[in-house]
A and B are shown apart, each in its own frame.
Chain A
Amino acid sequence: SSLTQVVHSAGRRFIVSPVPESRLRES
């Protein structure tokens, strides 16, 4: 989705996406 960004570093892939609202409320 447009909200997900993929970053590569030293051969490792990081997928960045918004924290689900439900998880934010938990904290």
Chain B
Amino acid sequence: AEDTGLRVELAEEDDCSNSSLALRLWVEDPKKLKGKHKDNEAIEFSFNLETDTPEEVAYEMVKSGFFHESDSKAVAKSIRDRVTLIKKTREKKPPGC
């Protein structure tokens, strides 16, 4: 996937027991972002695989002042890429991991 300059990873081990994940996002390459953002700060948040969308979380991060509006697409894409990977990993593992 194209590099957005942002890194999203699991903040806690995925126990596959429910649809809620703890994710952590931070800026890995500030040069790739257009607007102002907080460097060296990780943002931890919960993401529900069934009810949340990356765009909605990105919008709330912009509203909270973590990122500029011009970077919301990159934030949403980074979250989407990670969530897609987690879903694929879950599909490969036995039910309940």
Which positions in A face B, CB cutoff 8 Å?
7, 9-10, 12-20, 23-24, 27
Contact = CB atoms under 8 A, between A and B. Distances in A.
Q: Does more than half of chain B's interface fall in helix, strand or loop, or is it mixed?
A: mixed
Given A7-B64, A19-B26, A23-B26, A14 B42 contact: no
Interface in B34-65: 38, 40-46, 57, 60-61, 63-64
Nearest to B45: A14
Contact of B44 (A9, A10, A17): A17
Name which of A9, A17, A18 has the most chain B CB atoms within 10 A of its CB: A9
Contacts, number: 48
Interface of B: 7, 26, 28-29, 38, 40-46, 57, 60-61, 63-64, 66
Q: Does more than half of chain A's interface fall in helix, strand or loop, or is it mixed?
A: strand
